[in-house]
């Protein structure tokens, strides 16, 4: 099947669950690397699979590809990350997740306290105005504070 230890883009796609176009994109963005055959086709080392698992995990945690690239670059060159490397990173992620959860809980609890009141005041309601930013003198942004959250609870086909 695979000539000793090197994987074609199709094989990596199949094993990682990423589309080949995504793999090429990640390479263009500097998240993964490949060698080339004489004819110019990509050949990957098996370690790319772990790297891709890392990418998937990080992106599940909400990091942008840019942030992921930065974290990957901060990992020791080439070698498998140690327990300490991994802990440093997951601690970072853990904080992020905790923040996100807390933000959503504030929103939900505000919603509960609001149920039935119909208040939705631009200045006072915690749901339409979380964090009280609108009370400041700065002009408020048009964008929402909370993210475009997952619309599909399950992966698309």
Partner DNA sequence: CTGCAACTTCAAGTCAACTTGAAGTCAAGG
Partner DNA sequence: CCTTGACTTCAAGTTGACTTGAAGTTGCAG
Selection from a copy of itself, DNA, none that 45 binds (CB < 5 to 8 A by kind) is none
* CA gyration radius, the chain: 22
Selection from a copy of itself, DNA, none that 65 binds (CB < 5 to 8 A by kind) is DNA
Q: What's the count of helices (H) and strands (E) in the chain, helices before strands?
A: 5, 3
Among positions 16, 32, 42, 71, the unique one binding DNA when judged by CB under 7 A = 42
DSSP assignment string, 90-142? HHHHHHHHHHHHHHHHHHHHHHHHHTTT----TTT-TTTSGGGGGGSSSPPPS
39 versus 76: smaller Cβ distance to DNA: 39
Give CA–CA dist 24/48, Å, rounded: 13
The count of chain residues that interact with a copy of itself, using the rule CB under 8 A, is 78
CB 32 within 8 A of CB 52: yes
**5 in contact with DNA (CB under 7 A):** no
Smallest distance, a copy of itself to C-beta of residue 61, A:
7
**Sign, Cα dihedral of 25, 31, 34, 40:** positive
**60 in contact with a copy of itself (CB under 8 A):** yes
Q: Which string of b and e fits 74-86 if b means at least 16 CB within 10 Å?
A: ebeeeeeeeeeee
Selection from DNA, a copy of itself, none that 114 binds (CB < 5 to 8 A by kind) is a copy of itself
Question: Scanning residues 43 to 72, which ones bind DNA (CB under 7 A)?
Answer: 59, 64-66
Among positions 37, 87, 113, 121, the unique one binding DNA when judged by CB under 7 A = 37
Smallest distance, DNA to C-beta of residue 105, A:
22
Question: Scanning residues 14 to 43, which ones bind a copy of itself (CB under 8 A)?
Answer: 14-19, 21-22
């Amino acid at each position: 099947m695979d000539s000793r230890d090197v994987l074609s883009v199709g094989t990596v796609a199949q094993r990682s669950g990423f589309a080949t176009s995504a793999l090429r994109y990640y390479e263009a963005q500097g998240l993964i690397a490949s060698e080339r055959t004489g004819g110019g086709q990509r050949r990957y080392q098996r370690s790319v699979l772990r790297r891709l698992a890392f990418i998937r995990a990080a992106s599940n945690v909400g990091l942008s590809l840019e942030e992921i690239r930065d974290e990957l670059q901060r990992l020791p060159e080439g070698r498998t990350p140690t327990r300490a490397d991994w802990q440093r990173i997951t601690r970072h992620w853990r904080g992020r997740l905790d923040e996100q959860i807390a933000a959503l809980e504030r929103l939900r609890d505000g919603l509960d306290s609001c149920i039935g009141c119909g208040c939705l005041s631009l200045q006072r309601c915690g749901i339409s105005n979380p964090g009280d930013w609108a009370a400041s003198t700065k002009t408020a942004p048009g964008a929402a504070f909370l993210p475009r959250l997952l619309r599909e609870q399950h992966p698309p086909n």
